[in-house]
Amino acid sequence: MPDVSVVVDPQAADASPTNKSISVSPRLLAGCLYLFATPFCAFGVYALSMALRSLVAGDLAGAAYAGAFGVSFSAAGFGLVYLLRRGARVVQAQERMRAENPDRPWLWREDWAAGRIAASGGVLPMVLVGCAVLCFGVSAPIIYVIPRELAHHNAAILMILLFPFAGFVMLVQSVRAAARWRVVRGAAFEMDSVPGQIGGTLAGRIVLPAGVIPNGEFTLVLRCVNRVTTNSGDSSSTWEHVLWTDQRVALSDGAAIPVAFYIASDPPASDYRNARNEIIWRMSATGPTAAGKFDAQFEVPVFKVAETAEQERKAEKVRAEEHRQLESYVHPAASRIAMRLTPGGATEVYFPPLRSPGAALATAVFTAIWSAILWFIHAAHAPRIFLYGWGFFDAILLLILLSMVAAVRVRVGMGEITIDKSLAGMVYSRRRIRAGDVKSVSAIPGMTVNNEVYNQLRITYGAARTFDFADGIRDQREADWLADQIGQRLGLKQ
């Protein structure tokens, strides 16, 4: 049984994965979902029976169409019933564990309590296949009438082709997910102590599945994420903001990957009290294996607890190892970020434009699509509220894209630090800060593109003022090293 500490944070005592702050009872919500699933089940069974009758009668086309409807609606209805029943069992187990450990929320999940967390490879392949089948099933009968509608000059009927296209995309994604899950399935993170400690460590080992042979280094990333859900119903949206992150490189012994993170004292603890505003700690591990790329995630418990003497010694050891790695870091010659000494003795760091070409390209494509939709809204004479709202976010996207194609030049010397941002050689932003006013220079999470978090630098100065610059640094070790080098040249103890 892993070591368990006593909680000292009173707010963490109510941080439950099952206490979701909903306005209706779970039973009423489950009942509504069962009612929602019933018509799908009934229509699916009825359509399958009609398909069987058509097949017996020799009507193969009718059997195919009815069968498509039957499979699609039965999969949706009975699949939802299965998920509801499985979810109910999980909730009951969590409620029982919560009653047994009212002041230790890290023991309210079976995997957390056991200190062994199974790997997640993302969306399960069967879920994507089910969604693809639903898209194909819904659109199949309507596609049959496309030639007739086109003969009547009804070109709008072609919009129905979006459904089979979406189904095809999901099938491709399901193949990729299956390949990823084949490598990850069976992996688990075994914690040295439960929970991970704010101001302490998250340590243990990732046990690799049997038969998975590593081929090189593994990249381990630990993130504290704030997941927020806005609005409700069809207009709801969920986004994640990275509050804290750390990255390590580890070598496997063939059977497991060692894990050792030092967690700063400022990020918040795991918090599931409000389903619309959660704090989630997530660790990911990626690396090459003979069976393919290993890409797994683990949702881990991290809380503010009283550390034992042994845990404090381990935290200091991990922290010292982090400092040793930072001091021994060698800036790669292939890096596009350059540091040099000027003839006047100042230190200059140059961050070129397009520091992360892949992220810039993805952002440019997304911005182009967003701008095209904005033009369509304008051309369609939609209500101005839609035009203003879409235009506001389009302006934000353009500013983000501008920051990615802009160059940043940092100069430290003559008792100050100067940060210039330029586009095509023209400086459009300049910030000068006295060296004596700077309190710290640190690497923090920046933009997120395709689920990958890039880093930027932050200067804290004056009366707790901050200035962020040089977003788009992909390697966190490089970002930490740059922050340390700039801080040292400002006379700070980094």
What tens digit of pLDDT does each residue of 68-82 get?
A: 778 778 877 888 888
Nearest to 134 by CA among 70, 80, 72, 64: 72
pLDDT digits (tens, 9 = 90+) for 153-195: 776 666 677 777 777 887 888 888 788 888 988 999 999 999 9
Q: Residues of CATH 2.30.29 domain(s) within the chain? A: 338-489
- Listed in order, the ranges of the chain carrying CATH 2.60.40.640 are 188-327
CA distance 195 to 191: 8
- Please give the backbone phi and psi of residue 364, each rounded to the nearest 5 degrees, phi first: -65, -40
Nearest 10 degrees: CA dihedral of 195, 196, 201, 204?
A: 80
Q: Token digits for 379?
A: 């051309």
Architecture of domain 188-327: Sandwich (2.60)
Q: Measured between alpha carbons, how far is 55 from 61 in angstroms, rounded to an integer?
A: 9
Residue 283: predicted pLDDT: 96
User: Is the Cβ–Cβ distance between 443 and 483 less than 8 Å?
Assistant: yes
Cis peptide before 195 (omega within 30 of 0): yes
Q: Give the 3-state secondary structure percentages of the chain, helix then strand then coil, rounded to 5.
A: 45, 30, 25
Q: What is the pLDDT of residue 76?
A: 76
What is the three-class DSSP state of 455? strand
The whole-angstrom separation of Cα 378 and Cα 366 is: 19
Counts for the chain of helices (H) and strands (E), in that order:
10, 20
- Return the pLDDT at 235: 55
> Can you give the pLDDT at residue 272?
87
Beta-strand pair 452-461/188-191: unpaired
Fold that domain 338-489 belongs to in CATH: PH-domain like (2.30.29)
Check: CB of residue 393 under 8 Å from CB of residue 366: no
Residue 305 is classified by DSSP as B
Strand partners, 431: 419
**Nearest-5° Cα angle at 352, 350 to 358:** 140
Q: What is the pLDDT of residue 156?
A: 66
Q: Alpha-carbon distance 206 to 109, whole Å? A: 19
188-191 β-sheet, strand order = 116-118, 188-191, 201-207, 256-262
pLDDT of 267 reads 92
Q: Please classify residue 493 by burial: count the beta carbons closer than 10 Å to its beta carbon, then call 0-12 exposed, 13-18 middle and 19+ buried.
A: exposed
Identity of residue 351: F
**Which pLDDT value is given to residue 15?**
41
Map tokens 């609606």 to a residue. 73
Alpha-carbon Rg for the chain in angstroms: 27
Nearest to 55 by CA among 69, 46, 65, 45: 65
| In contact, 421 and 427? CB cutoff 8 Å | yes
CA distances from 137 to 37, 70, 75, 166, 236 (A): 17, 8, 11, 12, 26
Residues 6+ apart with CB under 8 A from 444: 455, 456, 457, 458, 468
- Is 414 in contact with 432 (CB distance < 8 Å)? no
Positions of the chain with pLDDT under 70: 1-27, 29, 121-126, 134, 137-144, 155-159, 231-236, 450, 494
Contacts of 43 (CB under 8 A, 6+ apart): 69, 73, 77
